[in-house]
Structure 1
Amino acid sequence: MSALRIGVAGCADIALRRMLPAFEASPHTVVTAIASRTADKARAAADTFGCAAVVGYDALLERSDVDAVYVPLPVALHARWTERALRAGKHVLAEKPLTARADDTVRLLGLAREHGVVLAENYLFVHHSAYTSVRDLVAQGAVGEVRALHASFTIPPRPADDIRYRADLDGGALLDIGVYPVRLASLLLGPELRVHGAVLRHDTARGVDLGGSALLGDPATGASAQLVFGMEHGYTAGWRLLGSEGSLALDRAYSPPAGHRPVLRIERAGGAEERVLPAHDQAATAVAAFAESVRHRRTGGAADAGDAGDAAAVVRQARLVDEIRRTAHLVKV
């Protein structure tokens, strides 16, 4: 089938740095247009990637040479522009989180089914081959029965004008950073996790959370996840999975460069080893998965087929994040 024609709604850093190069390099996709609210930004990005510059996102959705739209806008704008794209008959790949609220996520997934198009949420790390290796080891009993996950994702403070500090754009650490370890917990511990407690450090002046922690658990197995996230910390991006007979640990766990070779540490009673895993371009794999979901839909398959459009996982994630926010103890700072 012909390559999927991509229109990009916005010139965010993640789009310019990771996703546009991945779309451009993929044999499955071709970027036909990049839109911005300003002509200069649209033209600069379009010139770099050899495509059309479009002023305004509505104009992008009207183009007949766009099959699918990539949405890397601030979180508060995801629901609005994803809905417009779906109603225009476009497939959508939206940056994480798909929306800021579970009700909106459920509604948009229903709208995608109604219009027969694919809607996917762009968590790149779930496509990294390191996680295939990790899940294979767990399934083989390398650490015995899984008991607990300790995971963190923290970054230093951002510049004062960073959009993460804007409540009107649904900024804050939970939606920007905390969603990663939450998604990781479901990936490694399974789909039955519940929220058992949370704390958020709330910046009262700016109206956003700066960091926090959450405790998740599977009520059937007792496996738990202790998660830490924030943007007023030293940098961390790792996890340790504890089992009855050993543990697995990985650093640079969420956004490694394409050439990075992950080092998986395996500890058991007989000793420890560090296994160097192959480098993997998770952005390229995410693009391929999205294109495959669209191909499957075009040939008569379900609109939510494949990892790129796993609607059940997207809804579970949204509900866990909602529950963390709803039940968290707020520490005002």
Structure 2
Amino acid sequence: MTPPDSRTPVRFGVLGCADIAWRRTLPALCANPDATPVAIASRTPQKAQRFADRFGCAAVHGYDALLARPDIDAVYVPLPAMLLAPWVTRALEAGKHVFAEKPLSASRAESEALVRLARERGLVLRENAMFLHHSQHARVADLVADGAIGELRGFRSAFTIPPKPDGDIRYQPEVGGGALLDVAVYPLRAALYFLGPELTVVGATLRRRQGAVLSGSVLLTTPSGIPAQLSFGMEHSYRTDYEILGSTGRLNLDRVFTPPASWQPVVRVERQDHREEIVLPADDQFARVIDDFVGAVVRDAGTGSELDASVRLVGLIDDMARQAVYADR
């Protein structure tokens, strides 16, 4: 596929009318001067029309009809976790660049196949790991590298949310994939970011209801024995934070995965004789992740090593599911 001219916006199609698309991703896309929505598809015409009216584009009935359009350069796929892989595959086969929700698929094998297909076709494939594009995490990594808490000794993180209404797709393991694919991906991806790609699962506990994972905890380790202790779930009060432990201190942050664009992160650094709070600038992680994807399309960058961590992520989820001790409600 010939990349769009850098002077013209990247033309987007959207497969599905997800809440995240309505609230965050499409507003960020519309605000980007190098991107424009062309069409939005749904199996329900009324849903597509509602989105189209708000975002100034065409409503399309059915995903295949959208993929057949010649006026679309890239496709955003905000579908439930278990439906992502087949539609990302179809979009790539249709010659479209793809920006997909996370995780990229429900298994390592599926994700590897998607990355291989994107590379064979010379297309850009990205996963919407938006929180990693917030500047706060790079600042934290710099603090750790500069010795603010001594040598790295451990990582802890939690992402928990209140229960969803009965009937929510997250409670349908064959569609939404449960808390493993919807919530656990955040602290897991943060652990990979700070501890590196060689994490392995030591053990896990998972709570299920009618086959859907509701919550859990996992212990991982690096080859040198640095542990990552992670908690996640959708039957709790809201919590989203991480803590990095060092030989001489620790640091922690709140609101690390879903901060509003106006949120100013506060890094709390504690050592035996020192307490410090570092206020960081606000940042819009959705605007940044759209910038990254659109820039790759404009540059005809293709798919390189950007998705290695995405593949590793679902590999860890595979390992957790296989090794976990389950408690059924």
Same fold, TM-score > 0.5, yes or no: yes
Compute the displacement of 1:55 (Å). 0.8
Matched, 1:30 2:36: yes
2:284 is matched with: 281
**Does the aligned pair in 1 maintain the 2:159–2:241 contact within 8 Å?**
yes
1:242 is matched with: 245
Structure 1 residues 315 and 171: CA distance shift in structure 2, 3 A: closer
Distance across 1 between alignment mates of 2:87 and 2:303: 19
List, as ranges, runs of 4+ consecutive aligned residues in structure 1 with deviation greater than 3 Å.
none
Of residues 10, 15, 19, the one that matches 1:9 is 15
Matched, 1:81 2:87: yes
Matched, 1:317 2:313: yes
**Does the aligned pair in 2 maintain the 1:100–1:170 contact within 8 Å?**
no
2:262 is matched with: 259
Compute the displacement of 1:325 (Å). 1.0
Matched position secondary structure for 2:287 = helix
1:218 is matched with: 222
Kindly provide the amino acid, as one letter, of the partner of residue 161 in structure 2. I
Kindly provide the amino acid, as one letter, of the partner of residue 94 in structure 1. A
Distance across 1 between alignment mates of 2:192 and 2:131: 13
Compute the displacement of 1:328 (Å). 0.8
Compute the displacement of 1:28 (Å). 2.1
Compute the displacement of 1:256 (Å). 0.7
Compute the displacement of 1:37 (Å). 0.8
1:95 is matched with: 101
TM-score, with length taken from structure 1:
0.95
Compute the displacement of 1:295 (Å). 2.4
Matched position secondary structure for 1:168 = coil
Q: How does 1:113-124 map to 2 (within 5 A)?
A: 113-124=119-130
Distance across 2 between alignment mates of 1:177 and 1:266: 27
Distance across 2 between alignment mates of 1:170 and 1:11: 15
Q: How does 1:153-164 map to 2 (within 5 A)?
A: 153-164=159-170
Compute the displacement of 1:3 (Å). 1.6
Distance across 2 between alignment mates of 1:310 and 1:25: 24
1:191 is matched with: 197
Matched, 1:65 2:61: no
Matched, 1:53 2:52: no
Distance across 2 between alignment mates of 1:45 and 1:33: 9
- Provide, for residues 269-328 of structure 1, a one-character-per-residue CA deviation record: whole Å limited to 9, x for no partner: 3311111110000000000011122223x2xx4x224xxx71211111111111111111
2:3 is matched with: none
Kindly provide the amino acid, as one letter, of the partner of residue 242 in structure 1. L
2:303 is matched with: 304
Distance across 1 between alignment mates of 2:273 and 2:67: 59
Distance across 1 between alignment mates of 2:240 and 2:150: 25
Task: Quote the sequence identity (%).
Answer: 53
For structure 1, which runs of at least 5 residues remain unmatched after alignment? none
TM-score, with length taken from structure 2:
0.96
In the comparison of the two structures, how many residue pairs are matched? 323
